[in-house]
Amino acid sequence: MFVPKAQNPFLAAVLTLAASAFVAGTTLLAKMLGTDSLGPPLNPLQISQGRFVFAFLAFAIVALAMRLTFTQVAWTTHSLRVVFGWGGVTLMFAAAAFIPLSDATAISFLNPVIGMLLAIPFLGERIGPVRLTAAAIALAGAMILLRPTPEAFQPAALLALGAAFALGLEMIVMKRLTGREGPLQILLINNVIGVGIASAAAVWVWIAPTPQQWMALAGIGLLMASAQTCFVNAIARADAGFVGPFFYATLVFAALYDFAIFGVRPDAVSVTGTLIILCGAGLLMWREGRIRPSVGNPAEKMTTPLD
């Protein structure tokens, strides 16, 4: 029988920050694959398929090594989660190919706010004034990084907005799963279903990747597998409303990658937005450090299972 993880907000925050670093890496590789940096541009549907295939291989190897024993599987909930996750990732990959990476990341990472708000009716979580204030601060920083210019709000930006909403819904569904199934089982089943959905969509646009593109596709899968592992373990140890805003750190990592790889120096606007986001995350950590949540049965927050 699966035993829910003990609540540990600090560890959840650290795991979420690690996941955000990996996610920023996948977006960077997706942009290279969606342009002509590594060969003929690949369709976002094919990039998303590569992400699921290689992530599945990574989790399958781990599951075999650990001799994973499956508990009762909520197939409907898993399928719903994969639909939202696949849709969000594919839309994000598409947006990254058409608009600046910083703009795509900033727009799509409105999803923690969406997830936090949806956690109220769907999970029964209580979002107090401190969390609301911290989320508002982080959102303000994201809007500064967004730079609401005509270039940022070209039609392709709607793809990133769609990704934000889809990923926010995925966060809610995944919180339900973490209270009843183990992390490795969740991740393995997620990628098994994802391979089927992504492959069915990609078969119509698939072209043979170059060797460099194969390496980048494998990199996306492995980075996403690492991000999923960190995030599932994080959300099992803290409320979705607490974990979500820490994903804004992806904006910070995206800027660091731009500087390290392409020599792009962040300007005053980027620095200001990043600092504001970090202030919001710091406020959440301070709140959790002073007022530790009671450790109850996570299932009590899930009175209406989706399956």
pLDDT in tens, 55-96: 999 999 989 998 888 878 888 888 998 999 899 989 988 988
- Of the listed ranges 20-29, 123-132, 151-160, 196-205, the least confidently predicted one is 151-160
From CA 203, how far away is CA 305, in angstroms rounded?
33
Report the mean per-residue pLDDT for the chain: 79
What pLDDT is recorded for position 215? 96
Greater confidence (231 vs 305) lies with 231
Greater confidence (270 vs 72) lies with 72
**Domain chopping of the chain, boundaries:** 10-301
Using alpha carbons only, what angle is made at residue 217 by residues 228 and 193, rounded to the nearest 5 degrees?
50
Q: Quote the percentage of the chain above a pLDDT of 70.
A: 82
Q: Which residue has the tokens 């002073």?
A: 290
**Residues for the chain: how many in total?**
307
Q: 205-253: per-residue pLDDT in tens?
A: 999 999 999 999 999 999 988 988 888 788 778 876 677 777 778 878 8
What pLDDT is recorded for position 288? 59
Give the confidence band of 3 by pLDDT, cuts at 50, 70, 90.
Answer: low
Greater confidence (109 vs 187) lies with 187
Minimal CA–CA distance to 184: which of 123, 236, 250? Answer: 236
Give the confidence band of 44 by pLDDT, cuts at 50, 70, 90.
Answer: very high
Instruction: Enter the pTM of the model.
Output: 0.75
Greater confidence (178 vs 170) lies with 170
Q: Burial, 288: exposed, middle or buried (Cβ in 10 Å; 0-12, 13-18, 19+)?
A: buried
What pLDDT is recorded for position 287? 66
140, 283 Cβ separation under 8 angstroms: no
Q: How far does Cα 300 stand from its chain's mean position?
A: 25
Mean pLDDT of 29-50: 91
What pLDDT is recorded for position 142? 73
What pLDDT is recorded for position 213? 96
- Is 90 exceeded by the pLDDT of residue 134? no
From CA 210, how far away is CA 183, in angstroms rounded?
34
What pLDDT is recorded for position 303? 29
From CA 277, how far away is CA 197, in angstroms rounded?
35
- Is 80 exceeded by the pLDDT of residue 10? yes
Mean pLDDT of 287-307: 41
What is the enclosing helix (H) or strand (E) of 71?
A: none
From CA 155, how far away is CA 83, in angstroms rounded?
23
What pLDDT is recorded for position 74? 82
Q: How far is CA 42 from CA 45, 120, 203, 217, 261, in A?
A: 8, 39, 12, 10, 21
From CA 107, how far away is CA 160, in angstroms rounded?
6
Mean pLDDT of 111-134: 75
Minimal CA–CA distance to 179: which of 3, 1, 33? Answer: 3
User: Which residues have C-beta within 8 Å of that of residue 240, sequence separation ≥ 6?
Assistant: 115, 116, 119, 123, 125, 171, 172, 175
Give the confidence band of 112 by pLDDT, cuts at 50, 70, 90.
Answer: low
Minimal CA–CA distance to 269: which of 141, 152, 113, 161? Answer: 141
SS3 content of the chain, % helix, strand, coil (to 5): 75, 0, 25
